[in-house]
């Protein structure tokens, strides 16, 4: 099949050479018969899966040695586009030689990575990533049939972006830890929403239970409520510069606990507030570094700047932080 028979050159160039080769000459296409399996005492598994969003469907054949649960042969039939054929072929190839328990760990990311010509260049355009997701789903179906369990039991987390295999828990954690505010930032950090884009918001090619826009808004709302609660617990009820000394120290500690201390502890260090002194021009905060932070070169440069800039942003521009 010539490139011009399918699409314009610019789009065709987004497919790897492996994909275009397997589109035309798949190596594992075909079927495995019951008779073939019976002659060697193996078990035949036939699993079907169809993607309602695009109409593609795949049938997966496994010849499994019941003595050790090893997939000794794997073939497929695919009813769909060339990308579905290439993805299904690679999926079948990756199954051969693995146990059923190992095969179920193969993800759509593994399939797509195996189709790349080089590790850094995607094998297919973003809108075609769902074809490798279909390959992942039919593996779960086959494994469920062989092991006699529901295929859903293999999914231990709620997956929001199936293309990049990003879970709900991971998304919430990344938004919190990195203080993310946009969908673009989420995609940069996790790859979620970078392929077929159905998980970004309603209206994509496939309906989802969770969308990135709702997750981001929900986590940001939770973070704002936590800030309000932390401020109330610290006695922050008005302008920082007019607070009593005790209120100021509580407010400073609250900001450090919320935005700074966790990162210092991760590196084996910490910080404590020694004193706060007011003057007409500055509010000087004297700190002492603890643990690994004590004597660290960054304690007087990058770390100090981060602490001071955070306190200025959240409390007062008059703040100076002075290590002792």
User: Please, what is the Cα angle at 301 between 316 and 246, to 5 degrees?
Assistant: 35
| Closest to 137 in 3D by CA, of 57, 210, 53 | 57
CB 116 within 8 A of CB 90: no
How deeply is 56 buried, as exposed, middle or buried, from its count of CB atoms within 10 A (0-12, 13-18, 19+)? Answer: buried
Distance in angstroms between the alpha carbons of the first and the last residue of the chain: 73
CB 282 within 8 A of CB 289: no
| Closest to 62 in 3D by CA, of 25, 111, 12, 96 | 96
Chain centroid offset of residue 243 CA = 43
Residues annotated as catalytic are: 54, 131
CA-to-CA distance for 255 and 261, rounded, in angstroms? 9
Q: Which residues, in sequence order, are CB contacts of 114 under 8 Å at separation 6+?
A: 18, 90, 93, 94
User: Please, what is the Cα angle at 105 between 166 and 118, to 5 degrees?
Assistant: 70
Sign of CA dihedral 280, 282, 284, 285: positive
CA-to-CA distance for 152 and 149, rounded, in angstroms? 8
DSSP readout, 184-237? HHHHHHH-TTSSS-TTTSTTSSS--S--HHHHHHHHHHHHHHHHHHHHHHTT--
């Amino acid at each position: 099949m010539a490139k011009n028979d399918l699409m314009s050159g610019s789009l065709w160039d987004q497919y790897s050479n492996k994909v275009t080769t397997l589109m035309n000459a798949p190596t594992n296409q075909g079927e495995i018969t019951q008779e073939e399996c019976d002659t060697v005492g193996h078990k035949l598994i036939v699993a079907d899966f169809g993607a309602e969003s695009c109409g593609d469907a795949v049938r997966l054949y496994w010849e499994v040695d019941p003595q050790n649960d090893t997939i000794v042969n794997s073939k497929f039939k695919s009813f769909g586009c060339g990308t579905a054929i290439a993805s299904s072929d690679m999926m079948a190839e990756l199954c051969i030689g693995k146990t059923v328990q190992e095969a179920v760990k193969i993800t759509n990311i593994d399939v797509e990575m195996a189709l790349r010509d080089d590790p850094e260049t995607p094998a297919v355009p973003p809108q075609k990533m769902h074809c490798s997701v279909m390959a992942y789903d039919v593996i779960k179906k086959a494994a469920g049939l062989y092991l006699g369990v529901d295929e859903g039991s293999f999914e231990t987390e709620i997956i929001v972006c199936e293309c990049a295999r990003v879970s709900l828990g991971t998304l919430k954690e990344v938004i919190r830890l990195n203080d993310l505010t946009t969908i673009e930032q989420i995609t940069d950090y996790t790859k979620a929403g970078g392929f077929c884009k159905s998980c970004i918001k309603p209206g994509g090619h496939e309906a989802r239970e969770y969308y990135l826009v709702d997750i981001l808004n929900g986590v940001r709302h939770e973070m704002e409520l936590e800030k309000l609660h932390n401020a109330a617990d610290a006695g922050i009820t008005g302008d920082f510069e007019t607070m009593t000394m005790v209120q100021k120290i509580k407010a400073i500690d609250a900001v450090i606990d919320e935005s700074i201390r966790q990162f210092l502890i991760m590196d084996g260090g910490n910080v404590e507030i020694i004193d706060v002194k007011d003057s007409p021009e500055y509010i000087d905060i004297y700190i002492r570094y603890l643990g690994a932070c004590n004597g660290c070169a960054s304690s007087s440069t990058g770390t100090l700047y981060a602490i001071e800039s955070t306190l200025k942003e959240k409390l007062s521009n008059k703040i100076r932080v002075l290590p002792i």
